[in-house]
Amino acid sequence: MISAGDFRNGITIELDGNIFQIIEFQHVKPGKGAAFVRTKLKNIINGGVVERSFRPTEKCPQARIDRKEMQYLYEDSGLYNFMDTETYDQVALNADTVGDALKYVKENEMVKICSHNGNVFAIEPPLFVELEITDTEPGFKGDTATGATKPATVETGAQVNVPLFVNQGDKIKIDTRTGEYLSRA
């Protein structure tokens, strides 16, 4: 159990049968009346955000989120297969659970599987990946002063905007949280 007075960003709590992560919190002490804690909570299952106020003495059970490093193996008819590299146990997840998390992940790369009480709810790809560009328009020399970009397709099939000097066959580094080009690899 964790009291509302001890809330911090990133803590996960169980509330009304759902699991929420604290995005923002603020301790408020009004001129008259009792103090309270104003929070912004994100439902980790469906992604919805709600705002709620707590008395500082209110207690909530803290949710335990398990993050397990697993290897992404392959996709087969809508099921994505992952393997625990220590025990060789395999898990198959449907497309709804995986979402866009594997947009920048190649087969045989490591990802984190997030679960609560054995129920998988999310996949966390590595923060940065290096991928090869499979299709883009030819680049132009000397036209980089404007910071212009062009669309490129990487080997996983995802679209990324890259600078004009990047060519087909180049390896690039991508931030998986934003999907932005970082540098050539």
Q: In degrees rounded to 5, what are phi and psi of residue 5?
A: -70, -20
Measured CA to CA, the distance from residue 43 to residue 184 in angstroms comes to 36
Same domain (yes/no): 53, 90: no
CATH of the domain at 104: 2.40.50.140
Q: What is the pLDDT of residue 47?
A: 76
List the one residue out of 102, 103, 46, 114 whose CA is nearest residue 72: 102
Q: pLDDT 10s per residue in the chain (185 long)?
A: 888 888 888 788 888 888 888 888 999 888 888 889 999 998 887 778 899 999 888 898 988 888 899 999 988 888 889 999 899 888 888 887 787 888 888 888 899 988 888 788 788 888 888 888 888 888 666 555 667 788 899 988 889 888 888 888 889 998 888 888 888 87
List the one residue out of 11, 13, 37 whose CA is nearest residue 23: 11
Same domain (yes/no): 133, 118: no
Q: What is the pLDDT of residue 39?
A: 92
Same domain (yes/no): 48, 9: yes
Same domain (yes/no): 72, 119: yes
Final residue belonging to a domain, choices 38, 60, 82: 60
Q: What is the pLDDT of residue 139?
A: 66
Identify the domain containing residue 140 by its residue range: 128-184
Same domain (yes/no): 56, 78: no
Final residue belonging to a domain, choices 14, 38, 60: 60
Q: What is the pLDDT of residue 71?
A: 92
Same domain (yes/no): 169, 138: yes
Measured CA to CA, the distance from residue 30 to residue 12 in angstroms comes to 27
Question: Taking a C-beta distance cutoff of 8 angstroms, is the pair 165, 155 a contact?
Answer: no
How many folded domains does the chain comprise? 3
Final residue belonging to a domain, choices 82, 100, 124: 124
Same domain (yes/no): 115, 132: no
